[in-house]
Amino acid sequence: EEFLEGEEASFFALCDGERAIPLATAQDHKQVGEGDTGPNTGGMGAYSPAPVMSDEMCQRTMDEIITPTIKAMKAAGTPYRGVLFAGLMITGSGPQLIEYNVRFGDPECQVLMMRLKSDLVELLDAAASGNLAGCEPEWSTRTALTVVMATKGYPGLYEKGSVISGVDEAGAVSGVEVFHAGTAVSGDDLVAAGGRVLNITGIGRDVLTARNRAYEGVAKISWPDGFYRSDIGWRALERETDKQD
Of 234, 220, 21, the closest CA to residue 11 belongs to 21
- The string of pLDDT tens digits covering residues 6-23 is 999 999 999 999 999 999
Reported as half-sphere exposure (CB side, CA atoms, 13 A), residue 49 has a value of 17
Percentage of the chain surpassing pLDDT 90?
96
pLDDT recorded at residue 239: 87
pLDDT recorded at residue 243: 77
The CA distance from 203 to 9, in Å, is 19
- Domains in the chain (CATH in brackets) are 7-128 (3.30.470.20), 143-244 (3.90.600.10)
The CA distance from 240 to 209, in Å, is 11
The CA distance from 181 to 196, in Å, is 7
- Mean pLDDT, rounded, for 212-226: 99
pLDDT recorded at residue 245: 66
- The string of pLDDT tens digits covering residues 100-122 is 999 999 999 999 999 999 999 99
Alpha-carbon separation of residue 59 from 130, 131, 194 (angstroms): 22, 22, 38
pLDDT reading at 244 higher than 80: no
For residue 107, whether the previous peptide bond is cis, meaning omega lies within 30 degrees of 0, is yes
- The string of pLDDT tens digits covering residues 19-76 is 999 999 999 999 999 999 999 999 999 999 999 999 999 999 999 999 999 999 999 9
Q: What is the residue type of 213?
A: R
